[in-house]
Structure 1
Amino acid sequence: MRAVIQASFFFLIMVYGCAEDPAPRVTSKAIYTGAEACATCHLEAYKEWQGSLHLRSMQVPSVETVRGDFRQNNTYTYRGMTSRMFVREGTYFMETDGADGKREVYPIEYAIGDRDTQWYLTTLEGGRIQVLPAYWDVREQTWFDPVEGLFDHPQGFAPGDVNYWTNFGRNWNFQCHDCHASQIKKNYDPETGTYATHWTDLSINCETCHGPGGQHVAFWKALPDQVPARDTTLVNLQFLSSEQSVEVCAQCHAHKRIIKEGYQPGDPFYDFYELEVLDSEKFWADGRYRELNYNTLAFLMSSCYTAGHLTCAGCHDSHHLGPVRAEGETRAATYDRVCLDCHRVDVGEPVERHSNHKTVGCVDCHMPPVEEVKRIGIYDHRILSPVPENTVRFGIPNACNECHSDQTPNWAASWVKTWWGSQADEVAQAEAIALGRVGDPKALDGLIALSKDQSMVLRASAAVLLGRQTDDRAEKALIDALDDPHPMVRTRAVEGLMVYGSDAGIDAVIERLDDSSRLVRLRAASMLEGVNLSGDRGNKLSEALTEYRTMVADLLADDPEAQVQVGIDALQRGDDRAGEMAFRQALKVWPGMPDAYAGLGTVFIRNKQFSEAVKMWGEAAARDSALVAPLHHACELWETDIRNGFRTRPGTARDYTDLGDTYTLRDSLDVAIYWYRKAIESDPNYAVPYHNLALVCAEAGREEDAEAALNRYRQIAKDANAVRELEVLIRERKQRPDG
């Protein structure tokens, strides 16, 4: 059944896992005290932190914290939607369109951001904290709509869109909560669909990076004065490996899926998060970001990290969030100094001899701003040299042409080759990813090479893309990747082998059901569901699947994509009731989710409830045109079921109306009109076929027939509201350009 469903619509595969911690750490009970408890003993660090963006990641609105203009430049209109911001008796408000499109005033309870932009939040029914529709650009000192630079949706959002501000796509509790406060518990109740979200501090506090301080505080409070002692209840960040150190920052500064709450510094990162890799179109083929993203994945690909073991703290002061600037030093000079601390020998003196430019710094060429993201300052953390040849070949932006915009990429590539020689390796890497994404056989050699790269990100990316190849060498490389030391690579190798689909590959994945990493085990289990395993291997699969389903149900009840996957898994094991419940849970969180409607349509088809199936597939196809084909298939099944009924009894007006509906949904309007007229002949007082006939005739441009059917519907329909709604629908169809 899974093959049928997957041919119809896309499903997210969500798994959970962990990586073994290579470094010893002291564990302590997770008792959090909040940042204020740290100030007594660590006053200097506390004061530094108070000047950081970590403190200001999320704040209660006040004169001191609000950056937007709520008094003069306080009205903004985009695509017909006007928001007005104002202050009344010290409380901040935004007047804007609500869920029903009507004007309403909302109190602003929280502000997110401070440096580049500031966004404003309000709480709606059910504890849903929502991001309001206008935000303030700190640099340009004006208001904007989120679609201007952050969402690729220039026409704006309507109340039915998932990213309309009152809907799931702009819900802070699910979408934003892990990065804009500390020690957050969502506390989502799937039965009521409500949140009771709790946090320790509205900031990124000390314990986010240093771990829970409850035992640490208790230890020192209980100790008599002047008694020498050493507390070991906190992790010493200086003794973390470079990977663990970066992971402390990655809990916020990475594009990831949250798979478990409660991460502490030094914990196995992949117990709690799963990073995306370069099979995603969110990245250019060389790893540069194409949209709003975070710096960890790019940094993990940089040679500064893979070869030099540089960590975030090597450049960024952990309390200031940036290099500490010397007195009188410019920002550019500060960053040059930080880079030259490591690279002075290979760059040499003066720096101009290395760059062949007199007025550029290290960041200008090696960490240019990501221009695809507007209004938020994001710099490319791959820390690469510019590769204009990748612009020529794959359209990837390069730093040379971002300055020399009047010149061509070929011009820039010529100078780069003259000054610094061939960049064949960089081009080959981008080519392997770009061709691998579309399954081009020419990617094979490059992907095999990347599967042995120093970067975990490139190895994992190669593994998942090798699954789209058909050559036997791809299978061998994937089986080899199952022995990679990093769980992300083994996980993506499991995925690649299951897509590749060979018997040997599936056997190799089965052997990974007892992998040391839970991430790998559960990905293998989720992809092997439906495979009949017996004995010890069957028991291991069953155990892993049980844990997987429990975690999704408990932790991701408010994740509609995860709930759809739960529904798919239930259908695959023959539990239609559980599948239906999961799909309905997804719709509770995201009303209008096409995949959830498609899942319900599949449930109803399996149970021969064809009229309900057509309704669900109709809802799905109305929101995703790719689902029109399965809608037509459902209509055919319904038609066959109706006609089979004629073998044992005469057709009724309802039967003929239903047949008309199956043809309407397949855009066979003339046939639909025939069946609606036959329904009317069978029972002239049955109102439904008049209603549907009026709509179809209006759609077909047969205005007189539409008006006649509407007039008859007015006479026999008992619901005045239904009559008015039909009149509106017909009027709208007449006014459409193609009507």
Structure 2
Amino acid sequence: MLQNLLRTVRKHGYVAFVSVCLTNAALVLFVGCGPESSGSKEADKRSAEESSGRDSVSVVSNDDWYLAETCRECHADQYDDWLGSHHQLAHRRLDSEKDSEAFSQGEVFDQAERRYQLAAKENGFEMSELETQLPSEVDSVIGETPIRQFLIPFPGGRFQIQGLTWDPHKKQWFNVFGDEHRDEGDWGHWSQQGMNWNSNCAWCHMTDYKKNYDIRTDEYSSEWKIEGISCIQCHADMESHVASARSGEYKKRETPPNIELAMDNCASCHARREELTANDFHAGERFDDHFRLVLPDLPNAYFVDGKANEENYVYASLKLSKMGHKGVSCLDCHNPHSHETILSVEDNSLCMRCHSTGLNEATIIDPVTHSHHPLDSVGNQCVSCHMPKRLYMQRDARRDHGFTIPDPQLTIDYDAPNACSACHGDKTVEWARDKVESWYPNSERRLALRDRAGVLNSYYEGEEDSWTDVHRLLLNEENVYWRSAYLRILGAMAPGTPESLQAALTSAKSKSPIERESALRIMANRNDRLADVQRALYDSSRLVRNQAADTLSTQFNPTQSAFQEWQQYAEANADRPAGALRRAELAVLQGDAALAKQLAQQAADFDKNNAHLLYDVAIMFARVGDIDGALLKIDQAKRIDTSLGLIWFGEGLLYAEKGDTSRSIQSMERAVQLDPVQDRWWYNLGVAHMRVGQTERAKEALSKAVELNPSQAQYKQVLDGL
């Protein structure tokens, strides 16, 4: 019912202030409705005023406390800065004038030669992907510049982001996936869960957004107060603030604002992170109580020199940087309402605010002497070298916030991009390397960064002994974000070593929740530190408690607050494959086999062409006793990819469970042919041969297991018993 009501509101071009009964609710819209050519702030202001229903708002009751226009009564300058900003225009209604040019293109082709039909209808616009039966009605727009993406309503309360995207500057349609071919069953196809707006986009494009995903019906009843990012998303206690201001009882705050809390608010959107709560973060709360930050322990997220590779949304980059470590915040450089920098970057005014004064412990620099480029050249701009741009979504060039130093040698060694080659494309990388070496001979900082790059590259390449160098870096690192990344690596690669344990014990005492949580990952992978993990259930940070509860999930206690939080986390992320399987695990523990199978199936449906995922789903089916259903999932996985040894090994285990040892052996032999370095697989194959009296073949398989992993005593014991 609520979703139908929302759709009714949308059809009439309003933004919904959503409540169950909608009584006395003002329907507001914060968009600029003028044509793009005349999209001035004055036009945006008139549009916002006209659509806000200001004359109908009761000043006495303060029912309008959440509106940006209400804030304008006292904060006119900030309101004017916000109008036309990326925040205000993060999400808007379709506009017949502004969007008509895009939808007048008729039939268009994207880079992969997919065909689309664009059309204006009586009540809106349509974009149809031809040769499919997918929905085509356009609901709304996210983003303004440099690109605009369009939402398509789907059944179950879903809104999907079309891959076909409008470039308002070049007046072109293009596909954010480029020429990549994506099937309708792929996670990343625009119609599938990887491009679902409710789960992936809405929190950072709406004000006071609630996803409201129902794990049992696999449907959304999402709601929000305002489309776009408005004042109350970033400012706490606004209802009482408005009431006190209008009554004349407001008292100006005497203490300075908490910059760290302000940064946490920025990070809630401007960070690549996993949500720990169900859209429960509010301004004034701690980031680490609601999110888990992605760091360079995740391969491919960052280049080896610390520059962002994938879309990481700048916060972690800043925190990993030398500047972030010294306390430089978003507000040191940006007007939080307009997003523009507070000083020019073209003439280095912004950077020299610190680097000519020593503010924030900055090194004093003369730009021309430092850059070795002429005064008015691009090469003399600080941001050209230390904040190089990288292209995302085909057309969106974003500056890196890691403030790294350009080193062409890292391009030669590890294929990391360097700023020099971005301008000097007519020169070789070796030429650029030699220039840098001549300008900054024997630079200790550059040598240290090369050392770290080499260590990270070894880890990314899977070199087993690279953990020793990671530990060495950890011992000399002050930045808690790099320390946390190193601890996560040790937890994944070498949790059982004395060095890792000592590092974990030291970092478990850190004031930083992210460092404590990363240290706990080492404890979580050790059988002798269970007491440490149990104590972490009572940590002051939800981030740490979540990691502890996740580790101890098989001991789930519904009366303990940390496990209650963990269940909320599992359900908040159950509209993703890993999240659905995590919640299915809990259903198994709770004895709810039907829910476990349902969630496992939903996980498979989210990413239909993922053979690895189907293996995990098959195991979940087997855990609740449905072996035949599990084998069907394995068959589906093999139809997608027959080259994965894991799939064949899983099939072997399932046939063993059914008592069909002959077919189990056939599948396991195929598995070790495809991936002959899996010692456990050889061991299971040997045991299977033993069961049918094939002693010599059992000896061969068990000998191979011992050869691959001589430290596993069980293998040799079974072999010696033959």
Instruction: Please list the CA deviations of residues 274-333 of structure 1 after superposition, one character each: whole Å capped at 9, or x if unmatched.
Output: 1111111221123211123311111111222212x21111111112211256xxx7x622
> Is the 1:525–1:544 contact (alpha carbons within 8 Å) kept by the matching residues of 2?
no
Which secondary structure state, in structure 2, belongs to the residue aligned with residue 280 of structure 1? coil
1:337 to 2:349 alignment: yes
Deviation at residue 111 of structure 1 after TM alignment: 0.9
Task: Indicate which of 474, 481, 486 corresponds to 1:450.
Answer: 474
Partner of 1:388 in structure 2? 408
Task: Indicate which of 201, 216, 221 corresponds to 1:191.
Answer: 216
Aligned residue identity for 2:404: L
Partner of 2:506 in structure 1? 480
TM-score, normalised to structure 1, is: 0.73
**Gap runs ≥5 in structure 2:** 1-61, 672-722
Q: How many residues align?
A: 593
Say if 1:96 and 1:640 are closer, same or farther in 2 by CA, change over 3 A: closer
> Is the 1:530–1:573 contact (alpha carbons within 8 Å) kept by the matching residues of 2?
no
- Partners in 2 of 1:278 and 1:265 — Cα distance? 27
- Partners in 1 of 2:454 and 2:346 — Cα distance? 33
Which secondary structure state, in structure 1, belongs to the residue aligned with residue 206 of structure 2? coil
> Is the 1:614–1:631 contact (alpha carbons within 8 Å) kept by the matching residues of 2?
no
- Partners in 2 of 1:604 and 1:348 — Cα distance? 63
- Partners in 1 of 2:107 and 2:354 — Cα distance? 47
Aligned residue identity for 2:181: G
Say if 1:516 and 1:220 are closer, same or farther in 2 by CA, change over 3 A: closer
Partner of 1:598 in structure 2? 615
1:166 to 2:191 alignment: yes
Deviation at residue 59 of structure 1 after TM alignment: 1.1
Range 200-209 or range 570-579, more displaced:
570-579
Say if 1:569 and 1:284 are closer, same or farther in 2 by CA, change over 3 A: farther
Deviation at residue 365 of structure 1 after TM alignment: 0.7
- Partners in 2 of 1:267 and 1:206 — Cα distance? 16
Instruction: Please list the CA deviations of residues 425-450 of structure 1 after superposition, one character each: whole Å capped at 9, or x if unmatched.
Output: 11122223222342542452443433
Instruction: Please list the CA deviations of residues 590-626 of structure 1 after superposition, one character each: whole Å capped at 9, or x if unmatched.
Output: 5566566434422444566443221022223444657
Say if 1:56 and 1:355 are closer, same or farther in 2 by CA, change over 3 A: same
Partner of 1:129 in structure 2? 159
Aligned residue identity for 2:204: C
- Partners in 1 of 2:116 and 2:527 — Cα distance? 56
> Is the 2:275–2:569 contact (alpha carbons within 8 Å) kept by the matching residues of 1?
no
Partner of 1:230 in structure 2? 251
Which secondary structure state, in structure 1, belongs to the residue aligned with residue 152 of structure 2? strand
Task: Indicate which of 610, 627, 631 corresponds to 1:614.
Answer: 631
Which secondary structure state, in structure 2, belongs to the residue aligned with residue 221 of structure 1? helix
- Partners in 2 of 1:388 and 1:134 — Cα distance? 36
Say if 1:398 and 1:267 are closer, same or farther in 2 by CA, change over 3 A: same
Partner of 2:309 in structure 1? 290
Task: Indicate which of 65, 73, 85 corresponds to 2:118.
Answer: 85
- Partners in 2 of 1:264 and 1:105 — Cα distance? 34
- Partners in 2 of 1:525 and 1:550 — Cα distance? 9
- Partners in 1 of 2:180 and 2:93 — Cα distance? 32
Aligned residue identity for 2:465: P
Deviation at residue 214 of structure 1 after TM alignment: 1.4
Say if 1:392 and 1:586 are closer, same or farther in 2 by CA, change over 3 A: same
Instruction: Please list the CA deviations of residues 159-209 of structure 1 after superposition, one character each: whole Å capped at 9, or x if unmatched.
Output: 111222221111100011111111101122233222221111111101111
Say if 1:521 and 1:190 are closer, same or farther in 2 by CA, change over 3 A: closer
Which secondary structure state, in structure 2, belongs to the residue aligned with residue 495 of structure 1? helix
Aligned residue identity for 1:356: H
1:62 to 2:95 alignment: yes
> Is the 1:131–1:170 contact (alpha carbons within 8 Å) kept by the matching residues of 2?
yes
> Is the 2:276–2:543 contact (alpha carbons within 8 Å) kept by the matching residues of 1?
no
- Partners in 2 of 1:187 and 1:574 — Cα distance? 25
Instruction: Please list the CA deviations of residues 32-66 of structure 1 after superposition, one character each: whole Å capped at 9, or x if unmatched.
Output: 61323222332232122113111111111114543
Partner of 1:245 in structure 2? 262
Say if 1:502 and 1:600 are closer, same or farther in 2 by CA, change over 3 A: closer
Aligned residue identity for 1:121: L
Equivalent runs, 1:106-125 vs 2, <5 Å:
106-125=136-155
Aligned residue identity for 2:132: K
Which secondary structure state, in structure 1, belongs to the residue aligned with residue 629 of structure 2? helix
> Is the 2:536–2:544 contact (alpha carbons within 8 Å) kept by the matching residues of 1?
yes
Larger radius of gyration: 1
Which secondary structure state, in structure 2, belongs to the residue aligned with residue 310 of structure 1? coil
Which secondary structure state, in structure 2, belongs to the residue aligned with residue 386 of structure 1? coil
- Partners in 2 of 1:68 and 1:459 — Cα distance? 50
Aligned residue identity for 2:167: D
Which secondary structure state, in structure 2, belongs to the residue aligned with residue 230 of structure 1? coil
Partner of 1:466 in structure 2? 490
Which secondary structure state, in structure 1, belongs to the residue aligned with residue 149 of structure 2? strand
Structure with more contact order per residue of length (Cα contacts < 8 Å, sep ≥ 6)? 1
Task: Indicate which of 387, 397, 416 corresponds to 1:377.
Answer: 397
Partner of 2:601 in structure 1? 584
Instruction: Please list the CA deviations of residues 626-653 of structure 1 after superposition, one character each: whole Å capped at 9, or x if unmatched.
Output: 75534454357548847699xxxxxxxx
Task: Indicate which of 341, 352, 367 corresponds to 1:351.
Answer: 367
> Is the 1:556–1:562 contact (alpha carbons within 8 Å) kept by the matching residues of 2?
yes
- Partners in 1 of 2:69 and 2:643 — Cα distance? 53
> Is the 1:182–1:202 contact (alpha carbons within 8 Å) kept by the matching residues of 2?
yes
Deviation at residue 405 of structure 1 after TM alignment: 2.4
Say if 1:643 and 1:363 are closer, same or farther in 2 by CA, change over 3 A: closer
Instruction: Please list the CA deviations of residues 674-713 of structure 1 after superposition, one character each: whole Å capped at 9, or x if unmatched.
Output: xxxxxxxxxxxxxxxxxxxxxxxxxxxxxxxxxxxxxxxx
1:210 to 2:222 alignment: no
Instruction: Please list the CA deviations of residues 247-286 of structure 1 after superposition, one character each: whole Å capped at 9, or x if unmatched.
Output: 2211111111122223223212111111111111221123
> Is the 2:622–2:630 contact (alpha carbons within 8 Å) kept by the matching residues of 1?
yes
Aligned residue identity for 2:170: E
- Partners in 1 of 2:412 and 2:116 — Cα distance? 43
Deviation at residue 466 of structure 1 after TM alignment: 1.6
Task: Indicate which of 305, 308, 316 corresponds to 2:324.
Answer: 305
Instruction: Please list the CA deviations of residues 553-572 of structure 1 after superposition, one character each: whole Å capped at 9, or x if unmatched.
Output: 54233233212123345557
Range 382-391 or range 602-611, more displaced:
602-611
> Is the 1:451–1:481 contact (alpha carbons within 8 Å) kept by the matching residues of 2?
no
Deviation at residue 362 of structure 1 after TM alignment: 0.8
Instruction: Please list the CA deviations of residues 213-252 of structure 1 after superposition, one character each: whole Å capped at 9, or x if unmatched.
Output: 21222223334xxxx74166xxx995113x3222221111
- Partners in 1 of 2:410 and 2:101 — Cα distance? 40
- Partners in 2 of 1:82 and 1:253 — Cα distance? 34
Task: Indicate which of 167, 171, 177 corresponds to 1:141.
Answer: 171
Aligned residue identity for 1:414: D
Instruction: Please list the CA deviations of residues 126-157 of structure 1 after superposition, one character each: whole Å capped at 9, or x if unmatched.
Output: 21111123101234331111211xxxxx4421
Aligned residue identity for 2:306: G
Instruction: Please list the CA deviations of residues 82-110 of structure 1 after superposition, one character each: whole Å capped at 9, or x if unmatched.
Output: 1122223462221224xxx5356622211
Aligned residue identity for 1:230: K
Which secondary structure state, in structure 1, belongs to the residue aligned with residue 95 of structure 2? coil
Deviation at residue 30 of structure 1 after TM alignment: 13
> Is the 1:67–1:138 contact (alpha carbons within 8 Å) kept by the matching residues of 2?
no
Task: Indicate which of 551, 557, 565 corresponds to 2:568.
Answer: 551
- Partners in 1 of 2:297 and 2:312 — Cα distance? 15
**Gap runs ≥5 in structure 1:** 1-28, 149-153, 532-537, 646-658, 668-739
Partner of 2:132 in structure 1? 102
Instruction: Please list the CA deviations of residues 345-402 of structure 1 after superposition, one character each: whole Å capped at 9, or x if unmatched.
Output: 5777863112101112111111110247631121110112212232233221111122
* Aligned-residue identity in percent: 24
Deviation at residue 589 of structure 1 after TM alignment: 5.0
> Is the 2:652–2:668 contact (alpha carbons within 8 Å) kept by the matching residues of 1?
no
Aligned residue identity for 1:112: I
